[in-house]
Amino acid sequence: MANLYRWHSALLANYAPGDLIAVADSADEAREKLRAGFDTWVKEHREWVLYVEPEDEEQDGKTALRRKLETDLLAQPEIHQALYIRGSE
């Protein structure tokens, strides 16, 4: 049965840690799903996560973000069948 795997994330921190969440049959599969979606996520959110012009040092910024992702994924995830996420302003 698939579970929700959740990591607190320094990569996605704003005023508090963000969360990385994936549905998978194992923590390793969840990590791979999060790694696989990384490039798309950066492209879609580049103005918020890279703070550079498209041609300026994009690869260096992306490399630093990938390191943060890998650091986040080293931790043991929480494993859930359901999550309740409270909103905030």
Express each pLDDT in 37-80 by its tens digit.
998 988 887 766 655 445 545 556 788 888 989 999 999 999 99
**Burial (CB count within 10 angstroms: exposed 0-12, middle 13-18, buried 19+), residue 27:** middle
Mean confidence (pLDDT) of the chain: 85
Query: In this predicted structure, what is the pLDDT of residue 46?
Result: 72
Mean pLDDT score, 8-30 = 91
Query: In this predicted structure, what is the pLDDT of residue 52?
Result: 46
Banded pLDDT at 2 (limits 50, 70, 90):
very high
- CA-nearest of 12, 1, 64 to 34 is 12
Chain centroid offset of residue 67 CA: 11
